[in-house]
Amino acid sequence: MIQNIIKGIHGYSGALALISKLKLWKYFFIPIIISIVTGSVIGFSAYRLSDNIGRFIAKIWFWEWGKDAFTSFSTVIGVIIILALGLILYKHIVMALSAPFMSPVSEKIETHLTGITRHNHRKTSFQEQLWRGLRINLRNLGRELLITIPLLLLKFIPVVNIFSTILLFLVQGYYAGFGNMDYTLERHYNYKDSINFVRRNRGIAIGNGLVFILFLLVPFIGVILVLPLSVTAASLSTVKLIKTNSQITI
């Protein structure tokens, strides 16, 4: 698992140079706008809501002693909750709406790696790519929330909250990497087979997604570069994995 996570992270090496070499920046124009708008709306909402959630949590402390300390602690927990949920919503909204624009990017990268200009891929239209993106990301959103909410509740338990933070980060990374890998998988596998493919290679997905999440922590520049770099890195890694499964030849 750790080795595959490292491989997923390593996929980012050379991603920026490859984007320039293949002249892919034009494909990212609309997804970058989607990313900026979505990130701005969620970021502003998170800023407005974090204090309110902190005060709401603080109400469960009925005693006067330690109330100020618990209120401060609740504010921090409120920020973490909003940040975690905001990141979840951001990545699934952006990846779903960007699916039709990212598929051509992934295909050009695959052509560059394989040298094959005429593929026997599954043919999908703009609408089908958008629907698949929505379907995959709605599925992942539901599953991620089911895992994330209990992990957020564990943050109220000292010491345990350290491990819950690590698990939360890994879960966020897995589903981010999942979405990035599917831009390539949708040409080779149907919906169910793609899910099984990512499960078998979850370490690669986590590695790709961890860098994705770290990018989002960089103000402004993060939401601009996160999709171009993460999709390029995921495409490189996924094409190599498919090659290992003897689906294509590099």
The H or E element spanning position 142 is helix 126-153
How far is 197 from 150, CA to CA, in rounded Å? 27
Residue-level pLDDT at 62: 65
Position 187 in a domain: yes
Position 73 in a domain: no
Position 107 in a domain: yes
Whether the predicted model's global pTM rises above the 0.95 cut: no
The total number of structural domains in the chain stands at: 1
Report the phi/psi class of residue 159: left, alpha or beta, with left for phi > 0 and alpha for psi in -120 to 50.
left
Position 62 in a domain: no
Residue-level pLDDT at 60: 67
The domain containing residue 176 runs over which residues?
Answer: 2-31+99-244
Residue numbers of the chain with a pLDDT score lower than 50:
247-250
Position 59 in a domain: no
Position 38 in a domain: no
Position 69 in a domain: no
Position 194 in a domain: yes
